[in-house]
Amino acid sequence: MPWQPQAVMDIKQEFVALASQAGANRRELCRRFGISPTTGYALLNRHGEEGLPALRERSRRPHTSPGHTDAVLEQHVLDVRSEQPTWGARKIARRLSDLGLHGVPSPSTVTAILHRHGCISEAASTAAQHWQRFEHEQPNALWQMDFKGDFMTAQGRCHPLTLIDDHSRYSLAVQACADVRAETVQPHLREVFQRYGLPARINTDNGAPWGAPRQPRSLSALAIWLIRLGIRISHSAPYHPQTNGKIERLHRTLKRDVLSRHSCTDLLDAQQAFDKWRLNYNQVRPHDSLALDAPAQHYRVSARAYPSVLAPIEYPVGDLVLTVGWDGQARLRQHKFRVSSSLLKLPIAARPDPLHDGCFDLFFCHHRFDRIDLRDLSS
């Protein structure tokens, strides 16, 4: 039984004084002081050999620590954390293994080292979470695209354009843009397609320049170009950013690693910071959702090369092909209706619904973008 915590030195001194008296019942004294006879007799023996110093509290730390991390390895942990201050224990442990070090400590030991050296705040520890997300089975089956919230540089606003591969989490682009216009975005996308090839599908939100938020079933000029390249396009449901969850997560990492730590003077300065971060993100940083592999270990370029010339627009036999006129107007069986003005002079197809007379699905290339009922147009 241990000594009581209050005034331990004084209690021990009193016990020794009483137990040292001639004829003292030492076992009864141990009972009254709330300690075991073993503890009491051990204290009396030490006091006989050492005197008053024997009453001081002794360290219970073991003389040897076979599980203690080697000082050199511990320094390696701190070095990686210094180079990558936003990385957690699992990423650091994986990085040390990738560097070929032997005896790399477990993630729990790395966490203990970081805590011991004040590298992890309580807030950061509480905020740490693990996420499980659906992913496509192959690279380039789906890309997610969005703009990270804009920020001010010394010479104007910067709008970071981001693309990520759904399967591998590979960052295909982080581009510093002066605005969010289609004319700005398209050349950057062309460079991405020329390097990585074409994806099967791209998902975006409904905002400009991807969609036409004022006309939900309309097509933007950028969407028309993507469709002509043979890319399927889809849009996140309004107010549901989790549909593009992986790119939202990338935005959090980009903000934490770059935007909150670096003040950019202009777009060029921002781009240099983005390029350095993207290289590290793709090639070095272990990713929790990839069993701590880096995204580059799971990504390969698309077999679909970017075409030098757009393919002609063709529709199956049985479709009614219409040419879009000024103000996005099209005519079907003497009925006028409006589609997107971005489709000016381009052919669209009205595909009859065999089950509903007078109903047609409207297509641009492979993309179904609207449905009309001629009876509604007549009223």
Q: Can you tell me the distance from the alpha carbon of 188 to that of 63, in angstroms, rounded to the nearest whole number? A: 63
Does residue 267 share a domain with residue 182?
yes
pLDDT of residue 376: 83
DSSP codes of every residue in 154-177: TTEEEEEEEEEETTT--EEEEEEE
Alpha-carbon distance 148 to 249, whole Å?
11
On whether residue 135 sits in a domain, the answer given is no
Closest-CA residue to 186 (of 148, 226, 213, 244): 226
Residue-level pLDDT, tens digit, the chain, 379 residues: 555 554 566 678 778 877 887 878 888 878 877 888 898 888 888 888 888 777 776 666 555 555 556 778 888 888 888 888 888 888 898 998 888 888 888 888 888 888 777 777 545 554 454 434 556 679 999 999 999 989 999 999 999 999 999 999 999 999 999 999 999 999 999 999 999 999 999 999 877 788 765 565 678 999 999 999 999 999 876 555 555 788 999 999 999 999 998 899 999 999 999 999 999 999 988 988 888 899 999 999 999 999 999 999 999 999 999 999 988 899 998 899 999 889 999 999 999 988 888 899 999 999 999 999 988 876 5
pLDDT at 126: 42
- Interatomic CA distance for residues 200 and 69, integer angstroms: 48
Judgement on whether residues 94 and 187 belong to the same structural domain of the protein: no
98 and 172 in a single domain? The answer is no
Residues 176 and 215 in one domain: yes
Residue 1 covered by a domain: no
Residue 212 lies in a domain: yes
pLDDT of res. 125: 52
Half-sphere exposure (CA, 13 Å, Cβ side) for 6? 2
Assess if residue 309 is contained within a domain.
no
Token pair of 26, please?
A: 């030492």
Q: Report the number of distinct structural domains present in the chain.
A: 4
pLDDT of residue 131: 39
Report pTM: 0.66
- Asked if residue 21 and residue 108 are part of one domain, the reply reads no
CA gap 228, 220 in Å, rounded: 12
Q: Is residue 176 part of a domain?
A: yes
**In terms of residue numbers, what domain contains 355?**
320-378
Which of 361-378 are b and which e, b meaning 16 or more Cβ less than 10 Å from the residue's Cβ? ebbbbebebbebebeeee
Report residue 206 as tokens: 């409904």
H helices of 210-333, in order, are: 221-228, 245-254, 267-283
Task: Quote the CA–CA distance of 81 and 89 in Å, as a whole number.
Answer: 9
Specify if 2 maps to a domain.
no
Q: Which of 263, 297, 331 is the last residue of a domain?
A: 297
Helices within 117-149 (DSSP H only): 122-127
- Please name the residue ranges forming H helices in 255-373: 267-283
- Using the 3D structure, point to which of 251, 282, 297 is the last residue of a domain: 297
Asked if residue 75 belongs to a domain, the reply is yes
Beta-bridge partner residues of 347:
323
Specify the CATH number for the domain of residue 254. 3.30.420.10
Q: Report helix, strand or coil for 5.
A: coil
What is the per-residue pLDDT for 111? Answer: 83
Residue indicated by tokens 């609207």:
370
254 and 162 Cβ atoms separated by less than 8 Å: yes
Q: How far is CA 261 from CA 91, 253, 258, 273, 330, in A?
A: 20, 12, 5, 10, 52
> Are residues 195 and 245 part of one domain?
yes
Residues 96 and 153 in one domain: no
Residues 208 and 283 in one domain: yes
Residues 191, 334 within the same domain: no
Mark whether 231 and 261 lie in a shared domain: yes
Given this model, what pLDDT does residue 52 score? Answer: 76
Q: Name the domain boundary from 265, 297, 329.
A: 297
On whether residue 261 sits in a domain, the answer given is yes
| Co-location of 167 and 291 in the same domain | yes
Asked whether residue 333 falls in the same domain as residue 243, the answer is no
Please tell me the predicted confidence (pLDDT) of residue 132: 43
